[in-house]
Amino acid sequence: MAKRVGIEVSLAISEAVKLAKVDAVAAYPITPQTHIVEHLSELVAEGELDAAFIPVESEHSAMSVCAGTSAAGARTYTATSSQGLALMNEILFIIPALRLPIVMTIANRALSGPISIWNDHSDIMSVRDTGWIAMFAENGQEAFDLTLQSFKIAEDHRVLLPISVNIDGFTLSHVIEPHEFLDQDEVDKFLPEYKPAVQLNPDDPVSMGTVGVPEIYAEAKKCQDEVLKGSITVIKEVFAEFAEMFGREYKVVETYRSEGAETLLMTMGSVSETAMEAIDKLQEGGRKVGLIRLRLWRPFPADELRAEMAGVKTLAVLDRAVSFGGAGGPVAGEVRSALYSIKDAPYVASFIAGLGGRDITVDDFVMMVDQAEAMAEANEIHEYKMIGVRE
Amino acid sequence: MTKKFNEKAWHEYDLGFMVSKPGCSAEYRTGDWRSQQPQTNKDKCIKCGVCYLVCPEGAIQLAADGTYDFDLEHCKGCGICATECWTGCISMVEEGE
Amino acid sequence: MIEVRVHGRGGQGGVTSAEMLAIAAINEGKFAQAFPSFGPERRGAPVVAFARVSDKKIRNRTKVYTPDVVMVLDPSVLSIVDVTEGLKSDGMLVINSAKSIAELRTEFGFKTSLARVDATHIALEELGLPITNTTMLGAAVKAATLVPVEALVGPLEARFGRIAAKNIRALRRAFAETEIEMV
C-alpha cells in the first residue's frame, strides 16, 4: 500500500526515479538540483537501484551521455538547473530530433548575471524552443507523480520525445513536506519496462544523427513539431490512467474556483498554491476571480486554454522570466497569441514577478488582480508590468 | 516503386530521420571522380607498402608478388601515394577523355 | 496553522530541527513544511530556517513572515538579529539561554510569551558538543502546541542513527527543564 512520508521534495523525486527502475543516470551537480542526483548516486552505490550512474565533467557531457544511453535502449534520467541547462543547450535540440525519451528534472533557477542561485523560470524559458515536452509541478507530490508519468509518456511509441519536469528550485526542491509514495509493484503495473522502437545495436545497425540536406530538413522539423503537438493526446491518456490507478488527477490546464469568474489569474509552478490562498481571500470579498494554471508548457495547450475563457473578461498572467525586449512575459506572449483570434477574447495583463528568488506573497497576487482589472477597464496598452521592483 | 529520399512526405521517413539501412562506401564508384590515375613501374618497387599505408581510400591492395595494385573503381586520384613513394615508382597520368 | 522560525548559526543544525519537527508532524498525520532560508550555507553566520505545521494541507509557499513560534538556538544571535521580527503578539519566543526569563526581558525588551532553557549546558552534558538543535526541539514542543515530544523520537532515530539516543536524552531533558512565562 502507498505510504505517507515526510521527505524533502528532491529526495522524493529520486525515489520516483528509483521506482521507475531507470537504467542510466548521467548528471552533473548544480544548486539547487544537487540533492536529487546526490541521492540517486547513493541509491546506486548502495545497490538499491540497479543502474549505471555516470559522473561527467559538465552538463554538456551529461546530456551527451544521456543521448548515448537512451539511443542504446536504456531508460535514462538526468537533472539540472540554470547555467547547467544553458550548458546543455546544444545537445537539448538533438534529443527530440533523435526521438530519445529522456526524462529530466529541472530545478528551476535564475540565469546569471548577476549570479543568482535562486528560483525563477528564466532557465526553462530559455530552452522553450528545443522541442522537449515541458511540464510544471506545484508541490512535491506532483513532482513525484509527474516524474513517474513522464517516463510512460516519453516512451510511448506515438511520442518518443524527451520531457522536462520543472520544479521550482529551493521553494520546492529544498522543502520537506508530506508525499504519498507508491509501492514498487504498483509502479510496475503502471510503468512497464521500456521497449525502444529502435536502438543502437551492432547486430542490427542504424545511423542516428545524420545530415539533413535541404531536401529533407523541413520535413524533419515538420515531423518533430507534429509529434510534439500530438503528444498531448498521450499525455491526457497517461494522466487518466494514473488517476484511475492511484486517484490523483492531473490536467494539462488546471483551474481553481474558476467557475463564473470574470477575472482569471494565471500561474505556473509552485506559486500556484500561494495564489489559491489569494483567490480564496478575493472570493471571500465577493470578487468573481478564479485561478488557471498551466501544467503543460510544451506542447502549449492552446485549445484547452481557449476552452476555459468563456465569460472571462480579464486574464492576469504571471511570468517569472523576462523576454528581453519582447512584447510581454514569455507566458503572456503565448497566451495573447493563443487568444487573439477568439471572439470576445479577454484583456491580457502581463505581470513579471518572483525573479531570482523574490517571494510572491498572497498580497502580491491580490494586487495583480486589482491592477489587471483596472488596466482592463481602461483598456491600457502595455507590454508587461514588473511587480515589486523598486522605482 | 519506392520513393526516393527527397520525395517522401514528412511522416514517411524512419523514426528520428535515422538511416536504418546503412550504406557502405564500397558501394560508391568513386573512381569516376578522378582526373589523374596512378601508374606503377613495378621494376622500381621495393615492396615497402608506404603507398598502401597512406592511401586515404583503402584503394591499394597487396598483390601476390608482394607489390601493390590499384583499385581503380575507388581510387579518387589524389596522388598521395605518388608523392610518398620512396623510389618514385608511382606516377600520376592524365585520365584523358 | 502554526508557523515557526528557527534562528541559529550555520552548522548548528537549525535546518535539521525544522526538518525533524515537520517529519514528526507528518508522521502524526498532520501537514507540515520545513525549509531553509534558501541560499549559500556559511558555517557560523546567523541563519534562519522555517517550518509550518497544520491540520489542513498547506499551500502558502512564501517565507514565514509572521511566525507564531520563534526558536533561538544560540544566545549570541540575540544581540545581532531582531529575533522578534514579525512575531505575532500572541506568539511564543523559545530561547536557549543561561539567563532567567526576567533577565532576558530586561535586557532585550521581549514582550511576548517567553520560554527559556539552558540548552547549551544540556547539550554539553548529554552530547559533549554545544549543538543545541535537538535539545531546543524539546523546549519548543513544550512551549507551543506543535507535536507531542514522543513524536520526535522516531525522526531523531532515523536521522541520527547511533548517536540518536544521546540526542533523545537531550530532547527529553530540555522538555523537562524548560521554563515558560505566558503573557
Matching residue, cell 544511453: A69
Partners of residue A222 in chain B, C-beta under 8 Å: 10
Give this prediction's pTM.
0.92
Q: Exposure string (b/e) for A117-154, b if CB count within 10 Å is 16 or more?
A: bbbbbbbbbbbbebbbbbbbbbbbbbbbbbbbbbbbbb
Burial class (CB in 10 A: 0-12, 13-18, 19+), A223: buried
> In one letter, which amino acid is A157?
H
pLDDT of residue C28: 96
CA distance C138 to C121: 14
> In one letter, which amino acid is A134?
A
Residue B74 lies in domain: 34-97
pLDDT tier for residue B95 given thresholds of 50, 70 and 90: confident
Whether A177 sits inside 8 A of C32 (CB atoms) is yes
Whether A174 sits inside 8 A of C36 (CB atoms) is yes
Q: Does A379 touch chain B (CB under 8 A)?
A: no
Rg for chain A (alpha carbons), in Å? 21
Q: What percent of chain A has pLDDT over 70?
A: 100
Partners of residue B19 in chain A, C-beta under 8 Å: 206-207, 210
Count of C-beta atoms within a 10 Å radius of residue B22: 10
Q: Does B3 touch chain A (CB under 8 A)?
A: no
Question: Is residue B72 in a domain?
Answer: yes
Identify each DSSP E strand in C78-123 by its residue range.
92-96, 113-117
pLDDT tier for residue C183 given thresholds of 50, 70 and 90: very high
Residues 261-300 of A with CB under 8 A from B: none
Interval A344-360: pLDDT, tens: 999 999 999 999 999 99
Give the residue from A115, A167, A177, A365 with the most C CB atoms within 10 Å of its CB, the best one to mutate: A177
Question: Is residue B4 in a domain?
Answer: no
Whether A6 sits inside 8 A of C23 (CB atoms) is yes
Helix ranges, A20-101 (H): 34-45, 59-71, 82-97
Q: Span A234-260, mean pLDDT?
A: 98
Partners of residue A213 in chain B, C-beta under 8 Å: 6
Give Cβ neighbours of residue A136 (< 8 Å, ≥ 6 apart): A165, A166, A167, A268, A269, A293, A294, A295, A296, A297
Q: List the single residue in A4, A170, A176 with the smallest CB-CB distance to C19.
A: A176
CA distance A129 to A115: 24
Q: Does B15 touch chain A (CB under 8 A)?
A: yes
Chain A: nearest CA to C84, how far in angstroms? 21
Average pLDDT, chain C: 95
pLDDT at A1 > cutoff 60 = no
pLDDT at B26 > cutoff 90 = no
Partners of residue A277 in chain C, C-beta under 8 Å: 59-60
CA distance B13 to B7: 10
B to C contact (≥3 Cβ pairs closer than 8 Å): no
CB A75 within 8 A of CB A194: yes
Question: Is residue B65 in a domain?
Answer: yes
Whether C35 sits inside 8 A of A277 (CB atoms) is no
pLDDT of residue B97: 64
Q: Does A129 touch chain B (CB under 8 A)?
A: no
Q: Span A153-158, mean pLDDT?
A: 98
Whether C61 sits inside 8 A of A32 (CB atoms) is no
Matching residue, cell 530519445: A100
Interval A133-143: pLDDT, tens: 999 999 999 99
pLDDT tier for residue B1 given thresholds of 50, 70 and 90: low
Q: Considering only alpha carbons, which residue of chain A is nearest residue B17?
A: A220
Question: Is residue B17 in a domain?
Answer: no
Q: Span B34-56, mean pLDDT?
A: 95
pLDDT at A180 > cutoff 60 = yes
pLDDT tier for residue B79 given thresholds of 50, 70 and 90: very high
Residue A188 grid coordinates: 510496475
Whether A178 sits inside 8 A of C38 (CB atoms) is no
Q: How far is CA A346 from CA A336, A382, A387, in A?
A: 9, 15, 21
pLDDT tier for residue B28 given thresholds of 50, 70 and 90: confident
Partners of residue A226 in chain B, C-beta under 8 Å: 10-11
3-state secondary structure of A275: helix
pLDDT of residue B22: 73
pLDDT tier for residue C43 given thresholds of 50, 70 and 90: confident
Give the residue from C17, C19, C37, C38 with the most A CB atoms within 10 Å of its CB, the best one to mutate: C38
CATH T-level topology, domain C2-181:
Pyruvate-ferredoxin Oxidoreductase; domain 3 (3.40.920)
Domains of chain A are: 3-246 (3.40.50.970), 253-386 (3.40.50.920)
Q: What percent of chain C has pLDDT over 90?
A: 92
Q: Does C36 touch chain A (CB under 8 A)?
A: yes
Partners of residue A217 in chain B, C-beta under 8 Å: none
Q: What percent of chain A has pLDDT over 90?
A: 98
Q: Span C165-179, mean pLDDT?
A: 97
CA distance A321 to A334: 13
Structural domains of chain B, count: 1
Residue A144 grid coordinates: 513525484
**In this structure, what CATH number is given to the domain that contains residue B92?**
3.30.70.20
Residues 117-156 of C with CB under 8 A from A: 155
Q: A with B: how many residue pairs have Cβ under 8 Å apart?
A: 54
Interface pTM, i.e. ipTM: 0.92
Chains that touch A (3 or more CB pairs under 8 A): B, C
Average pLDDT, chain B: 92
pLDDT at C142 > cutoff 80 = yes
CA distance C13 to A391: 39
Interval C57-91: pLDDT, tens: 999 999 999 999 999 999 999 999 999 999 999 99
Average pLDDT, chain A: 97
Question: Is residue B94 in a domain?
Answer: yes
Q: List the single residue in A4, A176, A276 with the smallest CB-CB distance to C33.
A: A176
Q: Does C25 touch chain A (CB under 8 A)?
A: yes
Count of C-beta atoms within a 10 Å radius of residue B93: 11
Whether A117 sits inside 8 A of C35 (CB atoms) is no
Q: Span A273-290, mean pLDDT?
A: 97
Helix axes C133-143, C164-177, angle to 10 degrees: 40
Question: Is residue B53 in a domain?
Answer: yes
CB C143 within 8 A of CB C26: no
CB A312 within 8 A of CB A262: yes
pLDDT of residue A57: 96
Q: Considering only alpha carbons, which residue of chain C is nearest residue A179?
A: C26
Partners of residue C25 in chain A, C-beta under 8 Å: 6
Give Cβ neighbours of residue C79 (< 8 Å, ≥ 6 apart): none
Q: Does B20 touch chain A (CB under 8 A)?
A: yes
Burial class (CB in 10 A: 0-12, 13-18, 19+), C168: buried
Q: Does B9 touch chain A (CB under 8 A)?
A: yes
Every domain of chain C and the residues it spans: 2-181
Chain B: nearest CA to A209, how far in angstroms? 6
DSSP H or E run through A242: helix A214-246
Give Cβ neighbours of residue C78 (< 8 Å, ≥ 6 apart): C72, C95, C97, C108
Q: Span A96-117, mean pLDDT?
A: 97
Q: Considering only alpha carbons, which residue of chain A is nearest residue B16?
A: A98
Q: Does A214 touch chain B (CB under 8 A)?
A: no
Q: List the single residue in A206, A216, A226 with the smallest CB-CB distance to B6.
A: A216
Chains that touch B (3 or more CB pairs under 8 A): A
Burial class (CB in 10 A: 0-12, 13-18, 19+), C84: middle
